[in-house]
A = this chain, B = another copy of it.
């Protein structure tokens, strides 16, 4: 997606060791016009794919998923990372390791919001090691639902997530696949 790539080049911050910061337009401050175009692009890429629900994970994925859902006309469910008093009843859970935060956490989705009839499109802002996305796939499968595909804004092509997810047979659509080398130079692999 050229618009996203241009924006990454213009406003992204790249640093050695694969660090790419896009917090001025994607995951802290959010450029809603850009995210609208991202939603439209996901709709184009998954046209013809049956989608009954979009599943994402808090926090950065939620805004992107909600804007995208306007094109799919389906509800959004977001997996929660923190056990709260508000999340009672039967839940699906998956364990996720965060390399960014250096910790494991459990994600949770109330069972009544995904069932075996659902065709679930997974949406998130980043794909790096793929642990969050694997957690969402695990929850979808626990529900007996079908993974309709996965839409990612930015995939780090130098990390293993994309390969793992594609090898599972999931239709993974990443709008930009980037490499950041040890000197902090960025190139697009796709």
With a CB–CB cut-off of 8 A, which chain B residues contact A77? Answer: 28-30
Looking at A1-9, A56-64, A135-143, the stretch in contact with chain B turns out to be: A56-64
The answer to whether B85 touches A63 (Cβ under 8 A) is no
Interface size of A by CB at 8 A reads 42
Looking at A65-73, A153-161, A180-188, the stretch in contact with chain B turns out to be: A65-73
Choice from B32, B70, B86 contacting A75 with Cβ under 8 Å: B32
The answer to whether B113 touches A32 (Cβ under 8 A) is no
5 A-B residue pairs with Cβ-Cβ distance under 8 Å, sorted by A, are A28-B110, A30-B69, A32-B66, A32-B73, A58-B59
Query: Chain A: residues with CB nearer than 8 A to chain B?
Result: 21, 23-25, 27-33, 35-36, 58-59, 62-67, 69-70, 73-78, 80, 82, 84-87, 100-102, 109-110, 112-113
